[in-house]
């Protein structure tokens, strides 16, 4: 068995900044209301004509990650692409990245675990590298939320939260055996699947039926979230899965140098931080600037923290996520 490590990180967000005040012109909301409930001040949205979509943003983030890993597209053995907002119903974003980056005929796997997508994708990459099957795996989280949100007062509880963007990492065989990804921990609880979901279009509820029923209130092709219910479960599962990862490696909370939680809601991150009594310099949040970018949120935050020098060689880095499904997970890394 080998060990794996992250050898390159990269992120991309669209240039178009959308502030809370701008959203208040589209729906009955205001800056104070949004910041109080989510901590978000602004987010990025794809702008028509800017050339971006989910796969393109993934390529832009991946290009940076490969450069930092001193690798070329031809060196990548596999792509694991996490998203809930693919450009097409099928095929997935992974094969589009493979084609756009001129890679070999390598496998491309799409992961559909929403807010936990990047953690799940990173775990998949880790297993392929550890078993010796592949040497370099490209992991991408990318989301185009703005293309499918309800920007009216009816949808404000969800639409003010989400933003667009992409993040990527290269997971490589750890040649010197020092540090790397120590362990990953994944869970799900499907009985709560309807508390955070998008019901259609789907093969169970396809376009003709949606048009025929012409719903006016509970529109199934916009996301639904039971915010209070999700919040209560998130703070419990975040804490559990972080403790699980630490225990598996005989580590304690005091050993954490940097916690990077999925950027779902600043209040969730602050609750977890307070529970573990972590100082501000050991928790990284950037939801204030980018909103919740779902599968992209952890790699964007990880990249930004690394770029700011907040993650150094030898640091213990903990990633944790919770989201639709419900699914959740953690990754323990010795950088």
Is 136 tagged catalytic? no
**Which member of 20, 113, 144, 292 is catalytic?**
292
Is 292 tagged catalytic? yes
Three-state helix/strand/coil letters over the chain: CCCEEEEEEEEECCCCEEEHHHHCCCCCCCHHHHHHHHCCCEEECCCCCCCCCHHHHHHHHHHHHHHHCCCCHHHCCEEEEECCCCCCCCCCHHHHHHHHCCCCCCCEEEECCHHHHHHHHHHHHHHHHHCCCCCEEEEEEEECCHHHCCCCHHHHHHHCCECCEEEEEEEEECCCCCCEEEEEEEEECHHHHHHEECCCCECCECHHHHHHHCCCCCCCCCCEECHHHHHHHHHHHHHHHHHHHHHHCCCCHHHCCEEEECCCCHHHHHHHHHHHCCCHHHECCCHHHHCECHHHHHHHHHHHHHHCCCCCCCCEEEEEEEECCCEEEEEEEEC
**Which member of 262, 265, 285, 286 is catalytic?**
262
Of 61, 288, 298, 323, residue with least CA distance to 188:
323
**Which member of 52, 113, 115, 174 is catalytic?**
115
Is 174 tagged catalytic? no
Q: Give me 72's structure tokens.
A: 């070329």
Q: Catalytic positions, please? A: 115, 262, 292
């Amino acid at each position: 068995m080998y060990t794996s490590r992250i050898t390159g990180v990269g992120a991309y967000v669209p240039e178009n900044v959308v502030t809370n005040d701008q959203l208040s012109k589209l729906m009955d909301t205001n800056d104070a209301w949004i910041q109080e409930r989510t901590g978000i001040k602004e987010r990025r949205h794809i702008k028509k004509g800017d050339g971006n979509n989910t796969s393109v943003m993934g390529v832009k983030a991946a290009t940076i990650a490969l450069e930092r890993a001193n690798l070329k597209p031809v060196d990548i053995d596999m792509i694991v692409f996490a998203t809930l907002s693919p450009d097409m119903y099928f095929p997935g974003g992974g094969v589009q990245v493979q084609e756009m980056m001129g890679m070999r005929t390598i496998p491309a796997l799409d992961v559909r675990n929403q807010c936990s997508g990047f953690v799940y994708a990173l775990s998949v990459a880790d297993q392929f590298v550890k078993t010796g099957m592949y040497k370099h795996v490209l992991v991408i989280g990318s989301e185009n939320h703005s293309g499918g949100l309800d920007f009216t007062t009816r949808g404000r509880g969800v639409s003010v939260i989400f933003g667009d963007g992409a993040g990527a990492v290269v997971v490589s065989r750890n040649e010197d055996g020092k540090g790397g990804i120590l362990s990953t921990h994944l869970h799900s609880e499907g009985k709560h699947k309807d508390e955070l979901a998008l019901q259609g279009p789907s093969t169970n509820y396809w376009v003709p039926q949606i048009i025929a029923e012409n719903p006016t209130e509970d529109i199934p092709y916009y996301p639904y979230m039971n915010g209070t219910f999700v919040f209560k479960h998130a703070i419990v599962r975040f804490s559990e899965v972080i403790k699980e990862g630490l225990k598996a490696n005989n580590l304690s909370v005091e050993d954490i140098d940097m916690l990077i939680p999925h950027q779902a809601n600043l209040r969730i991150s602050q609750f977890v931080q307070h529970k573990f009594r972590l100082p501000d310099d050991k928790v990284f949040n950037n939801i204030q600037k980018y909103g919740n970018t779902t599968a992209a949120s952890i790699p964007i935050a990880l990249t930004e923290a690394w770029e700011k020098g907040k993650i150094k060689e030898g640091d213990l880095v903990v990633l944790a996520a919770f989201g639709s499904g419900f699914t959740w997970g953690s990754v323990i890394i010795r950088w």
